[in-house]
Chain A
Amino acid sequence: MQPLESWGRYPKARQAAVSVHWRTDPLPRVHGSLLPFGQGRSYGDCCLNEGGTLLATSRLDRFIDFDPGRGVLRCEAGVRLGDILAFAVPRGFFLPVLPGTRFVSVGGAIANDIHGKNHFRAGTFGRHVLQLELLRSTGERTVCSPAENAELFAATVAGLGLTGLITWAELQLKPVQGPFIESETVPFRGLDEFFALDADSSQRFEYTVAWIDPRPRGLRGLYFRGDHSARAGKAPPPREPKGFPIDLPGFAVSGPAVAAFNALYYARGRLRTGRKLVRYAPFFFPLDAVGRWNRVYGSQGFLQFQCVVQDRAALGALLERIASSGLRSSLGVLKTFGDVASPGMLSFPRPGATVALDFPNRGAETFALVEALESIVRDAGGALYPAKDARMSPATFAAAYPRAGQFERQVDPAFSSSFWRRVRAA
């Protein structure tokens, strides 16, 4: 059994869990509030429900219908994106938006309105959801789409599971020739180089993302860009990874250890510059090679910090603040969002640069850094990503999500989450 904790393993929550086995089943009668729980790949507390009950959806993993003419797949909400790819790629189709792991559920991808390396072209995941069914605590089943029950649809996309249980969804896939990506790695130093590379690459490539290492001696990074290759061929679907066996002790992610890892990773990237043909899995999901890699951070877990800011000076200030802190981040990611409108009332993506970093949970030291970063973002008019967040204040949330009041009217009264109670605390 998967542990019912969030990917960051912070905060810890005590809650009951009930598995949903059939999409036609009614919601279980429980004490306390309900919250759908897919694969537990959001980092903070938006998939947790302290004192309530989680509705585990991993058994809602059935396909319902596939129309190869239109590339439309209808499936249950617990199906993982990786399972869709394993099914669709041999049939010449691909998911239009992919996150950094293939182990997220369709329901979770909708509820967090996730984005990928092609946001500037494709927008968020929710834009490719044609319709979905929502099971409310009244027992009512409502089919929602951008045209039908549009208000409830806009609340459910990026709705963090609070509007009811998504039982199934219909997704628009996109055609591809085969399983390969033409990818290219370009090393860079400093933000100016990043933005120059990004401006050029987003014109010529479908997917772009940068790994960054914000360090006291200045920012360095590897810029990855790629396109679907026209080359046909078969690639065996990636295997289920072996799980990381143990919780590592704290020194495994100490500053010097992370600095050494980053130096090696950067050096390796510099040796592998230039174009090459890779299978889709290592390009999109490099971290999936190790199952449960979050155990590297030990049982106390880690904090993800992901924000979007439009102001480059604010981005620079963020990276400097991180570099000057004693905490090094090994999985820093920097990319730019385009201006494709996000469909959800609480969607995170908006024009600007988005940076994601993770910090081992060292208690007060880590919280202080994350709080300092949060205030830079708030002052710059940016936003933090609920799917990654464990700490943001109600004021920061309210400032970044002005439609929260409109959203709240669509929340199912029987549903709640630790995140929601935290950011809506008076």
Chain B
Amino acid sequence: MRRVLVLGATSAIAQQVARLCAARGAELFLVARNEERLGAVADDLRVRGASVETAVADLDDAARHEDLLARAAPLDVVLLAYGVLGDARETGRDARAAEAVLRTDLLGPVALLTLAAQRLEAQRSGCIVALSSVAGDRGRASNPVYGAAKAGLTAFLSGLRNRLSRAGVRVVTVKPGFVDTPMTGRLPKNPLYASPERVARDVVRAIEGGADVVYTPWWWRWVMLAVRLVPERLFKRLSL
């Protein structure tokens, strides 16, 4: 990886991925909404010796996408690492709140990756890595809207991979389980939680290796297989 575009660079997982990329000598182009926090992340990477450019942008605003990609070019790795969990009680009764989650977690990423894919397809190289979630593997009562957004993203990435493989462009779907980040800050923690460092190591291994779909930690693959195999007749009565 020579040049990495990090979308959502202040997310806990993205920060750790960026450190690992910096240690491998990659140039970084970081995008995030909050200028102060983005500055803190960029300064840290610069002190560690990385070459870093930054852009402050709200990625919900699709009008910004083309300009950002042009500035970040030439692209080598595109890491999409932003998203919101949403408050399930709020999205359960307020359609606008649900739409906002879908815009950030699905519509924005689809728009952005559509443009990124065109660029990579034209140059016939590169790698798109996006953080989806195990939550997209099956809808659950605890957060149906987030699950739907991630299911949509997972399906989109799968389709994109299918299309881009002919051009020699890789698409990696990363499905973390519970990760101890600000996103889950209000939820009670349990032993299933992984650290952002752990997830970041798996992300970088996926970029460097040949994986298409990565569960992190790895055992979520088997947990989610079991979850998907439960018949709907039974599943609808479970509290998960």
Interface residues of A (CB under 8 A from B): 1, 19, 21-24, 59, 62-66, 87
Contact = CB atoms under 8 A, between A and B. Distances in A.
A64 B47 CA distance: 7
Contacts of B43: 62-65
Interface stretch (B33-41, B53-61, B96-104): B33-41
Contacts of A64: 40, 43-44, 47
A24 B36 contact: yes
A22 B34 CA distance: 11
A21 B12 CA distance: 9
Interface string B21-38: 000000000000000110
Given A1-B189, A19-B185, A22-B37, A63 B44 contact: yes
Contacts of B47: 63-66, 87
Contacts of B48: 63, 87
A93 to B, nearest CB: 13
B193 A1 contact: yes
B182 interface: yes
A15 B195 CA distance: 22
Interface in B157-196: 180, 182, 185, 189, 193, 195
Nearest to A25: B37
Contacts of B36: 22, 24
Contacts of A24: 36-37, 40
Interface of B: 12, 36-37, 40-41, 43-44, 47-48, 180, 182, 185, 189, 193, 195
A65 B43 CA distance: 7
25 contacts: A1-B180, A1-B189, A1-B195, A21-B12, A21-B185, A22-B36, A22-B37, A22-B40, A24-B36, A24-B37, A24-B40, A62-B40, A62-B41, A62-B43, A62-B44, A63-B44, A63-B47, A63-B48, A64-B40, A64-B44, A64-B47, A65-B43, A66-B47, A87-B47, A87-B48
A65 B47 CA distance: 6
Contacts of B180: 1
Q: Which 6 A-B pairs have the closest CB atoms?
A: A62-B44, A63-B47, A66-B47, A63-B44, A24-B36, A21-B182
A62 B193 CA distance: 22
A326 to B, nearest CB: 38
Contacts of B189: 1
A21 B13 CA distance: 13
A76 B203 CA distance: 26
Contacts of B185: 19, 21
B231 to A, nearest CB: 34
B197 to A, nearest CB: 9
B202 to A, nearest CB: 16
B147 to A, nearest CB: 24
A129 B36 CA distance: 25
Given A1-B180, A21-B182, A24-B40, 11 more contacts: A1-B195, A21-B185, A22-B37, A24-B37, A59-B12, A62-B41, A64-B43, A64-B44, A66-B47, A87-B47, A87-B48
Nearest to B39: A24
Contacts of A63: 43-44, 47-48
A1 B184 CA distance: 13
Nearest to A60: B40
Contacts of B40: 22-24, 62, 64
A21 B34 CA distance: 13
A37 B231 CA distance: 46
A376 to B, nearest CB: 44
